[in-house]
């Protein structure tokens, strides 16, 4: 058996999967990335009969220092009956002969992050060295990752999880989901700033020797539940492959026929998983980057210039309100295979606020990716149009995907069959969806009353977990300065 190795995007030290997962981020600040991508034989997997079995097959290719029994245990605990409200973890809706919606929000927190974050705690527990007492999981969230991570790690032995979110940069439902989180090992704080402030704060703590030594002396080690951890990224590869197999099984495509995926994009992890699926051999034509007006990634795909020196906008798709997309670093490494070059890009981004890739690198990126953005008004119009044309309710992030896809069609006239990823249940953003459908009629409505009104006006049932949020007590009221993040962590792990 060939051992899968992982390497930092900024260095040359190779590790196996367990070390990559429990460390989360490399000591040099780089992201662990597979040294090689295992090829897939479609003929061997096209008859796999369940999502869980496909996940086991894919995980075995990447987690070669896990036993097959360990992998099966992780998958069974994560995707067992009752965790997700659909038979195969995700669901595919056919909107037209050439357009499909991949629903990734059927998990316990109603966001695509559940697909990975139900698995990660079990992968982490099986990866942890015995000499550490506990894992301390740090998470920066633009909305959905926080709740999904809290729910995944809630009351998991040998773990404590601390989540930081921008206090004014998430939806009311997202904030209430996090601040009402139960669990003896869960801690949450709002940050005075935006998501990039929270994310850079977490990264600084991860690589600060004083912070590392302090928590190690307390018997902890740092790790991440963000998509900078390859253990988060791996489960996301599976649903791209599963989508292709489902379309094949339903005779919507022929074997070997290429398809497009449209991915609402913030931190670049979700779409990077699609790129890895393509490298494995899934016939993907284009991965379409759908950004909101914080369009730094879409602009990069078009020009090769990554420039965060721009105004930051708060939008109705807040999980994509990001100017520093961490997983782009992995793409750059997979394209260039040059850690020194990647290190230089990242240093330029940190010190100058921008970097530009060489023409040949951009050309290779554009062979697989296409990108554009959607304004808030265009997003609202997209919500209304999709509901009017297909009777299908979408959240603002997914609506960004549909809007950018319409721009792609106009510019390219590409008739390739296309799957648009649905990243959140529309009821997580009920007020914005309601106002998009009914032209601002409910601008002054309470966000939780909007859930009830949206149900009545669309006859689409809201999840019980969202309907019940209003009655839950606030357990995590803290809002702090970015500079106080490590102090907050120490206070919580000492007292609990």
Q: Which residues are catalytic?
A: 113
Q: Give the separation between CA 104 and CA 115, rounded to whole angstroms.
A: 7
**How many CB atoms lie under 10 A from the CB of residue 44?**
9
Query: What six digits make up the tokens of 337?
Result: 């295979």
Q: Give the separation between CA 331 and CA 366, rounded to whole angstroms.
A: 12
**How does DSSP assign 68-112, residue by residue?**
HHHHHHHHHHHS-BTTBSSTTSSEEEEEETTEEEEE---STTSBT
Q: Give the separation between CA 319 and CA 242, rounded to whole angstroms.
A: 25
Q: Give the separation between CA 20 and CA 258, rounded to whole angstroms.
A: 32
Q: Give the separation between CA 382 and CA 357, rounded to whole angstroms.
A: 33
Q: What is the signed CA dihedral for 93, 95, 98, 104, rounded to 10 degrees?
A: -30
Q: Give the separation between CA 23 and CA 224, rounded to whole angstroms.
A: 8
**How does DSSP assign 132-190, residue by residue?**
-SEEEEEEE-SSHHHHHHHHHHTT-TTEEEEEEEETTSS-HHHHHHHHT---TTEEEEE
Q: Give the separation between CA 209 and CA 271, rounded to whole angstroms.
A: 32
The answer to whether the Cα torsion of 166, 192, 434, 290 is positive or negative is negative
- Angular region, 82: left φ>0, alpha ψ -120 to 50, beta rest: left
Q: Give the separation between CA 319 and CA 450, rounded to whole angstroms.
A: 20
Q: Give the separation between CA 458 and CA 173, rounded to whole angstroms.
A: 19
Which strands make up the sheet holding 159-166, listed edge to edge?
220-224, 134-140, 159-166, 186-191, 479-480
Helix axis angle, 359-368 to 296-303, nearest 10°: 110
Query: What six digits make up the tokens of 280?
Result: 């494995």
Whether the CB-CB separation of 462 and 172 falls below 8 Å is answered with no
């Amino acid at each position: 058996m060939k051992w899968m190795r992982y390497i930092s995007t900024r260095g040359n030290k190779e590790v196996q999967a367990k070390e990559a997962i429990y460390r989360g981020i490399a000591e040099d600040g780089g992201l662990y990335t597979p040294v090689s991508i295992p090829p897939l034989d479609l003929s061997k997997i096209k008859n796999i009969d369940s999502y869980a079995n496909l996940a086991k097959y894919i995980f075995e290719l990447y987690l070669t220092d896990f036993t097959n029994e360990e992998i099966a245990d992780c998958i069974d605990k994560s995707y067992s009956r009752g965790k997700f409200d659909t038979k195969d973890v995700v669901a595919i809706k056919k909107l037209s002969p050439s357009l499909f919606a991949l629903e990734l929000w059927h998990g316990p927190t109603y966001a695509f992050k559940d697909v990975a974050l139900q698995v990660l705690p079990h992968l982490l527990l099986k990866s942890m060295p015995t000499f550490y007492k506990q894992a301390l999981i740090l998470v920066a969230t633009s909305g959905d990752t926080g709740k999904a991570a809290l729910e995944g790690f809630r009351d998991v032995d040998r773990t404590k999880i601390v989540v930081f979110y921008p206090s004014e940069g998430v939806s009311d439902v997202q904030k209430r989901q996090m601040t009402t989180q139960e669990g003896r090992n869960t801690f949450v704080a709002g940050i005075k700033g935006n998501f990039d402030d929270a994310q850079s704060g977490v990264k600084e703590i991860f690589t600060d020797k004083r912070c590392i030594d302090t928590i190690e002396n307390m018997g902890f080690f740092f790790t991440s539940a963000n998509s900078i951890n390859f253990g988060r990224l791996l489960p996301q590869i599976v649903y791209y492959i599963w989508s292709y197999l489902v379309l094949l099984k339903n005779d919507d495509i022929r074997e070997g026929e290429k398809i497009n995926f449209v991915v609402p994009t913030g931190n670049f992890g979700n779409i990077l998983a699609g790129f890895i699926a393509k490298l494995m051999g899934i016939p993907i034509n284009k991965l379409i980057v759908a950004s909101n007006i914080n369009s730094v990634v879409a602009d990069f795909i078009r020009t090769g210039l990554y420039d965060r020196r721009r105004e930051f906008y708060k939008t109705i798709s807040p999980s994509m309100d990001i100017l520093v997309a961490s997983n782009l670093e992995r793409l750059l490494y997979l394209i260039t295979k040059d850690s020194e070059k990647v290190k230089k890009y990242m240093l330029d981004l940190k010190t100058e606020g921008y970097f530009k890739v060489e023409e040949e690198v951009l050309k290779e990126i554009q062979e697989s990716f296409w990108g554009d953005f959607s304004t808030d008004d265009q997003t609202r119009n997209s919500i209304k149009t999709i509901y009017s044309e297909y009777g299908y309710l979408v959240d603002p992030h997914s609506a960004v995907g549909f809007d950018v896809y319409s721009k792609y069609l106009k510019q390219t006239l590409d008739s390739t069959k296309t799957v648009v990823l649905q990243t959140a249940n529309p009821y997580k953003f009920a007020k914005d969806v309601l106002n998009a459908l009914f032209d601002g009629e409910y601008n002054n409505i309470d966000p939780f009353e909007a859930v009830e009104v949206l149900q009545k006006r669309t006859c689409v049932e809201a999840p019980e977990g969202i309907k019940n949020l209003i009655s839950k007590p606030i357990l995590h009221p803290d809002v702090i300065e970015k500079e106080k993040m490590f102090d907050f962590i120490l206070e919580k792990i000492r007292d609990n």
